[in-house]
Amino acid sequence: MAVIIGIIIVLSAIFGGFILEGGHLGPLFQPYELLMIGGGALGAFVISNDRESRNATFKALSTIFQSARQSRELYLELLSLLFEIFSKVRKEGLMSIEYDMDHPYESPLFEKYRLVTADHHLVEFISDYFRLMVSGNMDPFQIENLMDNEIEVHHQDGEIAIHAINKLADGLPAFGIVAAVMGIVHTMGSVGMPPAELGSLIGAALVGTFLGILLSYGVFSPLANLLDRKLQESTKVYQCIKVAMIASMNGYAPTLAVEFGRKLVSSSRRPNFRELEEHLRPAKKAGNR
């Protein structure tokens, strides 16, 4: 919704100001200029990106109207899940979670946390590293290094679409200039026409430059910034898991381990200490039985 509101504000301010100063919207309607700009930019996008990049870009653009998944409720569920896993490992040993990690969607540990299981990437990240802990003899430093590398790959994958959209935004003003030049060429070929008609042709040519700049700085560049912000937030979830797991591997109690993870959450989404304690209370009671 915020994206739509922002675009409406941009268009209303620009076109509204134009009307208020006495302009008319009719001359701004230049479909052929838009065809040259849009078609040129689309062609350049296809040339400069492989299938993986194009698919990633279209997938990312489909999420711009969705609210962020990284809510306070998700972090509460995530930290509670980690607490239960840590507690079970501390009480019954690593082998006790082997089935849970091999079959997370059938596990009693995971099934209570629907917001976590709704994101298969999160479930895979958690189960993979606990599975490594169960089946291997890796120390915390090795696990941490591997996690850092995977988080970096996740971030790089997310940046593919952002870079593609940024490049598209950078190219739109240039294609606007190309469309304007084509309009000027057409105008120069019509110098015998009356001044009023020549003025109309020149105005139509200048619309090309206007549209290129508007689409670049008013639409596509802000969309790239929005996707970058979403990527930063999605990366923090994995960092939160990493810090909590490494703390647990280093011997910290489950309560302290999840507290380490809580500190990695953005302040706007971070549950406070009392909220987390309240959320962990049922799991602590069940563990004391």
Q: pLDDT tens, 166-179?
A: 999 999 999 999 98
Q: What local confidence, expressed as pLDDT, does residue 174 receive? A: 92
Instruction: Return the structure tokens found at 166.
Output: 């940024």
Euclidean distance between CA atoms 32 and 20, whole angstroms: 26
Residue 12 lies in a domain: no
211-235 CB burial, b ≥16 within 10 A, e <16: bbebbbebbbbbbbebbbebbebbb
pTM: 0.82
Mean pLDDT of 16-33: 84
194 is in which domain, residue-wise?
Answer: 29-289
Residue 242 lies in a domain: yes
Question: Into how many domains does the chain fold?
Answer: 1
Residue 58 lies in a domain: yes
Mean pLDDT of 50-64: 90
Please write down the long-range contacts of 120-124, taking CB distance under 8 Å and 24 or more positions apart: 121/154, 122/78, 122/237, 122/238, 122/241
Region of poorest pLDDT, from 89-103, 153-167, 191-205? 191-205
Residue 2 lies in a domain: no
Residue 10 lies in a domain: no
Confidence of residue 191 (pLDDT cuts 50, 70, 90): low
Residue 9 lies in a domain: no
Confidence of residue 287 (pLDDT cuts 50, 70, 90): low
170 and 217 Cβ atoms separated by less than 8 Å? no
| pLDDT tens, residue by residue, 113-128 | 998 998 899 999 999 9
Euclidean distance between CA atoms 88 and 92, whole angstroms: 6
Residue 6 lies in a domain: no
Euclidean distance between CA atoms 57 and 159, whole angstroms: 10
Mean pLDDT of 7-25: 87
Residue 1 lies in a domain: no
Instruction: Return the structure tokens found at 202.
Output: 């020149």
% of residues, the chain, pLDDT over 90:
37
Confidence of residue 29 (pLDDT cuts 50, 70, 90): confident
- Angle, helix 31-48 to helix 140-188, in steps of 10 degrees: 140
- Angle, helix 31-48 to helix 51-61, in steps of 10 degrees: 130
Q: What local confidence, expressed as pLDDT, does residue 192 receive? A: 65
Euclidean distance between CA atoms 27 and 206, whole angstroms: 10
**Which residue is it, tokens 């929005």?**
226
Helix, strand, or coil (residue 268): coil
- Helix residue ranges per DSSP H, 189-216: 195-215
Confidence of residue 289 (pLDDT cuts 50, 70, 90): very low
Q: What local confidence, expressed as pLDDT, does residue 285 receive? A: 65
Angle of CA points 33, 36, 40, to nearest 5°: 150
Does the structure show a pLDDT above 90 at 109? no
